[in-house]
Structures are given as structure tokens and as C-alpha cells.
Chain A
């Protein structure tokens, strides 16, 4: 491939470079989808690390309530003041760290990484497009994201600190807390929603309009399909939250009562409001986004896993059409399951029955997708490189996350599990060793295309095995804690609650938490510490490999079939020296009778590749 790239006529290369761009235009205010993708990626990784640090401090507080946080306690006190007096995390600080951990991880780290970074970098390449359909809208999308991120970050340092009402920001709690954190949160969210809206419009339009000649819908790599459905979820699910955000902002700033009921008392006094609002309305609007958001987190991850599995099993993905239709089904169904987050709000058993039915139905396409991946492994001669290891781990980890969600989807069992650590364990299994593992796989997999160098394989494996072990050390105990009744969001990790027992006639009718359950906090804390340590090789690996990694010897180091590997490395502005034409499906590996074990999508039947 490299050879053909080099023998290209000179005029073709010139076409791609209209003029030399200055530093600012090229790296900061770039309209090139690849630069924007990398900008998204780096920013999101920084937020991912920041969100993780917030949680590590919280884990210390949970395991050792009231004791100064080692190493960083003094810094917290100096920067944040009284809320961290003597380096001890106060309940207020715990609440704001908790709310911001969720917000940052979902809206500032995972979605921008999965959709903004990988989608931006890979989708136009995979469909054979020169760029996104609207490059300047793309730039505006990234800038809105950064602005939103800055507003969220700054909110830690304002008087009263950041938002404290959880990432779900339920009213009336969110409106009643007398600090400005929630206002910052809402304004920040409006920027982030605007960002994903611009991104979603751009992605969908690009996939509809800019597919290369011959790239029919059923020849799209599954990753593109996943991003396509994700785009629609963001496009249609986020606006209701934007509406809700505007209304909560009105409640907070203009004194309205959209989500505040008549007779609301705050601090023992009747609130001076008109009343007449509905707290349930906020929850409906929030979860109308909140549940499709889950699939925004998981679909791009499944897309990455599909690409890596097909490439490393060296055989066509099993059930391509099932994957595509399942993804479309998920996209549709995810709009009608949201109220399974609300069984305990008293919205009524009939409504609950409807939503538990749709919730059970949506698990079917998810299982189909996972099953297709598992069957794809069967009979393959698997290459166990770092991206593949992460993808192989994704399968059981996401499986655990998904299956433990079923008891939460049934109203009856949810009564017991709702708002416990079981819920935390469930969705972290989906997102952390699930989505984040897939994202790691994507980084290791596409790094050679972005930089022209491979990441270090040995340290990649250290990163993988360490992450796999300690992710489970962190999240597995939470299932047990949750089932034993440990409630989430307690600033002391349940220390008070643990001793709360009620005896009637010598029989314990309400039992506190056992020491066994409480002691698991210590194990989780150390799991988190080691999880942080094994990320160090990864961080060093990323930066070290840019300059010192093993140079790739071809444009297609993994011998892959999809179009992103048929470009120069790294792809220049405009991507393809000549517009590619597609002649075949995305996963033609090990075709009998063919000389190599892969046939790129742009190779004609005669065997010569077109650019």
C-alpha cells in the first residue's frame, strides 16, 4: 500500500493542500475532521482522568470517613477552603464531587471520546469522504464542548462550589440548594448539548451525503452504523433535556416553579414561589435523554469492538445484517424505556408495567449484538494484540453489566435494589470495563493511522491486565454491598447507617450493614488506587509512542479491509489522494481462493486497488 501511495501522480497530492496553514488555523481553529477528532480525544482523556481523580478522593472519604485525604488533602483545603478544612472532605464537597464525577464522566469524557473523537476521526475515513459535510460546524461543535467544559470546571472554584444535586439534578433539591453551582451546571450543560447537537447533525449529514461511490448502506462498516444511530439519539434525545435545563434555569434564576410543587417547604419554611410545578416532570425530561444516553455511551463502543474483532479474527463478522438491524432497533426502543429509572417515584403501576415490558424488549437486540461478536470468534485464528485483548474483555464485562441490569428493569426487584450500590456496580460495568475498554482498544487500534507509529505492545498488555483485574476489584464488591442494602450517595460510606438497627421484641427487624460489607470499602479504595497506577503506563505509552514508537512499514499495519487504512499515514488534509470507489462489503477477510487473507473495500474484482 505504501508503495502505491508513493507512486501517485504529484498533482493528486497537491489537490489536497490548497495552502499551507499557520499553527493556529492548523491545530487550534482547525476545520479538519482529523484534527478536531484528536482535539476531542485529548480533551476528553483529560476530563476522564480528572473525573477519576474526583472519585478517588471520594473513595478515600467513603473508606475512611472524616480522615484527611492523603497527598492531596492540603491542596484541596488551600484551593477550595472551608469545605475541605484540614484536608477532610466535608459532606457538601462529597456531594459536589459526586455530582461532578457523573457529569464529567458522561458528558465531558465518554461521549466526546466515543462520538466526538473516534466518530470524527474515523467515520469520514471509513466512508471515503474528504471531510465532514460541515467542517466549520464541526469546529463550532468542539468549541462549544470546550466552553461547556470550562464552565463546569470553573464551577468548582466559585463560592459554594460546584453543583451538589447529583448528575441527575432532580428538582426541587437542585433548585433549593442556595449556591450558584447548579446555575453553572445548567449553563455548562446548555453548551454541551449545543455541542452534541451540532456534532449529531454533522455526522448524520456526512454519512447520508458523503459516502464514496459504491459505498452502499449495507457496505458501511458497523462502526459507521453505530455512529449513525448514536447521532440520531443525540439529535432527538438531548433537546428535551435542553428544554428541561432552560426551565430549571428559570426556576433557579427567574423564580419560576416549573418543577416546584405547591406547598414546597425549604429549611422548614414555605418557599416564596408560585408553586404548581411538577418535580416528576423534570425526571421524565431528564431520563428521556438519560436512557438514550446509555446507548450513546455503548453503541460507538460496540462499533469499535466490531472493527477490532473482525480484523483480529481474520474472518467476516458473523451476522452483519443482524448487527445493523439490532443497532437500529436499539436506537428506536431506547426512546421508550426511560421511566424504568422512575419505578419508585409513584408514577403508577400501569406505567411501570409498560416501561418494564419495553425494557425487557430492548435487551434482545443488545444480546443479539453481543452474541454476534461471540460467534464471530468461533473458528477464527485470533491475533491477541492489545486492542483485541481489550475487545475480548469487553464482551464478558459488558455482559455482566447488561445482565445485572435486568433485575433493575423489573419493578418488583428494583424496589429493593433502587438507589443502592448495586445500581452503581451495574452501570459502571457497562461503562467502565465495557465502553472504556472498547475506547482503549480503539486508541491502540487507530493510533498507527493517526501517528504512523505503533504503541508499545508490552506496556499495552500491562495496561490491559492491570485494568481488567482492578476494574473488577473496584466494581464487583459493589454488587454485594448493594444487595445487602447499602444506599448510594452517602458521604460517610454508610458508617452511620451501618449501626442503625431496630429491635422489636428481641428480634432485629431492621438490620444495619455488616462489618463485612463495610470493610469492602477498603478493598475498593485500594482497587481504585491500583487502577490509577496501571493507567500510568498507558499515559506514558501514548505520548512516548508519538515520537519513539515502532514505525509502521505500511499504510495498513493491521491488514484491515476498511477504507481508513487505504489512505496515506497520517491522512493529509482532504484524506484521500484520489476519491476511492468501493467494490465490496466491509469485512472480506480470508476469502477462499484469494492470495491475501483480506480484501480492501476499494479493491476491484480484478484485484487491483483503486484510490
Chain B
């Protein structure tokens, strides 16, 4: 006996099995991200304002990435609509664009990550803090590693302003001279790149965006499968392929929606 309602809707519920499944799955995803967003709120409320970095992320790049995802959520619907209209080649085109958008998003995000891994904050023993770049742009440097390398000082190119001075100052940070200064290791209390361990802000930033990136990757893999080998189903069971594209599209909309929340709370607020 075959399992009923795999492609045709059940009369009394009005939907097919996979659609029930994906909505349930998305409900659990809401709880997963909901817990992380709650964590964001709690950590932020509990943090001293000067310990909560703002304005360190590149807003134009973030905006561009947002646009990429929004565009992909249009094309993912176009792909499904094409199948509904029996236009297989048009489906292929839109599905390909969607996957490319996903990959573009991930590519840009990885550059953003790298930018943070090479950007540092130094807590000095006199209580002052400066942000900037280390000589040679190393990633993941810490005070322990500097000491282990036997160095007595570091060459540091500071930013003009520290994020604790507020947003206005941050916007002007790239204007003016950048001069490298030498800071003796003895004057350094803590040295950290903008990695998860830097602060609770970057902890939640990397956890949320990392988990979101995993979802983007998962969605891209599924949609690439439906574009490639999975598309053969068009010639055997077109209704079911259409449903699969619809279900993956629902997931994709959710992934986009999460980003719509992530972008303002991490980049803008």
C-alpha cells in the first residue's frame, strides 16, 4: 500500500503531507531562533553600553546581502510558479538564480567574517581600550599567543575612534591618518580579535549568523539538488516535483525572514 497524500492534498486538511511536515519543522525553527533572539535581548539588556559594540559591521555590505536574499525569495517563487505553468526551462533558470543568490550571500558573509577575524581590540592596563589592526593582519591573535611568540611589543594601527564613543564617532573612523603605534606587551591586559570570545555581542553575532549561514547552506544544497539530479522527477511525477520546490521555497522564505530580523538587530541597532 502506498502512502496517501504525498502529492495530492487530503480533502479534509487541504494540504499534502510534506507541506504539513515543513510547517511543523518551521515551527520548531521559530523556537530555535526564538531562543537565540531572546538570548540576544537578555545579554544586551544586561550589558553595560560601552561593552556592547555597535557600528563595527559594514552596513552597506549588509544591506547588499539583504537585497540578495530578498531577490532570491522572489526568484524561488518564480521557479515554483514556472513549474505550475508547466514551463520547465523557466523553472531551471529561476532555480539557478536562487542558488547563485544563496552562494553570493555566503561568499559575502565569509569576507565579512574574515574582516572581523583580523580586526582587534586591545584592553590596556591603564583602563583604556583601542581598536585597530595588527601588523601583518594575522587572524585569531591573542595575548597568550603574542607572549608565547616571545614578543615584547606589538605594532598596532589604531582606528580613530573606539566603538564606546558612540555611533557618530564611528562613522568618521575611516577619515584621517592611520599611524601604527608600538604597544609594549606589559601594558596590555587583554587582546582579542572580533571573534566570538571578544564579547557577548560577537558571541551572539557569530552564533546567530553562523547558524543562519548553515541554514542558507542547507537550503542551497536542497535547491541545487532540485535544480540538478532532482529535476528529473519532472518527467515521472511533475506534481511531486512542484510540491518539493514549493516546500523548499517555504523553508527558503523562513531563512530570508530570519535574516530580515538579524540585519537590523546586529548591524543597525
Q: Give A contacts to B, CB under 8 Å.
A: 15-16, 129-131, 133-135, 137, 197, 200-202, 204-205, 208-210, 235-240, 242-244, 246-247, 250, 254-258, 272-274, 276-278, 281, 285, 288, 574-576, 579
Contact = CB atoms under 8 A, between A and B. Distances in A.
A239 B199 contact: no
Given A238-B28, A274-B200, A133 B13 contact: no
B57 to A, nearest CB: 18
Given A205-B24, A239-B29, A130 B203 contact: no
Contacts of A285: 35, 39
B55 interface: no
Given A15-B1, A130-B1, A281-B42, A204 B196 contact: no
A124 B42 CA distance: 43
Given A133-B20, A250-B207, A278-B42, A255 B35 contact: no
A257 B3 contact: no
Interface string B193-206: 00111111001101
Q: Tell which of B5, B18, B47, B207 has the most Cβ of chain A within 10 Å.
A: B207
Sorted from nearest, which 8 A-B pairs have the closest CB atoms? A255-B197, A256-B203, A243-B35, A239-B32, A240-B35, A239-B31, A130-B1, A574-B1
Nearest to B203: A256
Contacts of B207: 246-247, 250, 256, 258
A10 to B, nearest CB: 15
Given A243-B33, A254-B196, A254-B206, 13 more contacts: A16-B1, A130-B1, A133-B17, A137-B21, A197-B28, A200-B28, A209-B20, A210-B5, A256-B203, A256-B207, A274-B192, A274-B198, A277-B200
A210 B29 CA distance: 24
B43 A277 contact: yes
Nearest to B32: A239
B35 A258 contact: no
Nearest to A280: B42
Nearest to A236: B31
B36 interface: yes
Contacts of B51: 276
Contacts, number: 133
Contacts of A238: 28
A74 B16 CA distance: 58
A273 B197 contact: yes
Nearest to B24: A201
B27 interface: yes
A205 B17 contact: yes
Nearest to A576: B1
Nearest to A243: B35
Contact of B211 (A130, A246, A277): A246
Nearest to B16: A209
B127 interface: no
A575 B200 contact: no
Nearest to A257: B200
A236 B20 contact: no
Contacts of B35: 239-240, 243-244, 285, 288
B10 interface: yes
Contacts of A133: 3, 17, 20-21
Contacts of B13: 208-209
B4 interface: yes
B46 interface: yes
Contacts of B2: 130
Nearest to B21: A205
Interface in B15-72: 16-18, 20-21, 24-25, 27-29, 31-36, 39, 42-43, 46-47, 51
A53 to B, nearest CB: 34
A277 B199 CA distance: 9
Contact of B39 (A137, A235, A243): A243
B24 A204 contact: yes
Contacts of B31: 235-237, 239-240
Contact of B25 (A130, A201, A273, A576): A201
Contacts of A15: 1
B5 A209 contact: yes
A242 B31 CA distance: 10
A274 B123 CA distance: 11
Contacts of A197: 25, 28
B5 A276 contact: no
A242 B211 CA distance: 12
Contacts of B43: 258, 276-278, 281
28 contacts: A197-B28, A200-B24, A201-B25, A201-B28, A205-B21, A205-B24, A208-B13, A209-B17, A210-B3, A210-B17, A236-B27, A236-B31, A238-B28, A239-B31, A243-B33, A246-B207, A246-B211, A254-B197, A254-B203, A256-B197, A257-B199, A258-B203, A274-B192, A274-B200, A278-B46, A281-B42, A288-B35, A574-B1
A235 B17 contact: no
B24 A575 contact: no
A204 B39 contact: no
A200 B1 CA distance: 23
A189 to B, nearest CB: 14
A134 B207 CA distance: 31
Contact of B196 (A240, A243, A250, A281): A250
A353 to B, nearest CB: 21
Contact of B32 (A16, A200, A240): A240
A246 B51 CA distance: 23
B200 A258 contact: yes
Interface centre among A200, A246, A258 (most CB of B within 10 A): A258
A277 to B, nearest CB: 6
A41 B244 CA distance: 32
B196 A256 contact: yes
B18, B34, B197 pick with most chain A CB within 10 angstroms: B197
B117 to A, nearest CB: 12
Interface string B141-171: 0000000000000000000000000000000
A187 to B, nearest CB: 15
B28 A239 contact: yes
A257 B206 CA distance: 13
Taking each of B1, B3, B16, which has the highest tally of chain A beta carbons within 10 Å of its own beta carbon? B1
B6 to A, nearest CB: 8
A259 B18 CA distance: 38
A237 B20 CA distance: 19
A200 B29 CA distance: 13
Contacts of A237: 31
Nearest to A282: B39
Contact of A205 (B4, B20, B32, B204): B20
Nearest to B46: A278
Contacts of A576: 1
A201 B29 CA distance: 12
A272 B190 CA distance: 9
A133 B22 CA distance: 12
Contact of B200 (A240, A242, A256): A256
A255 B196 contact: yes
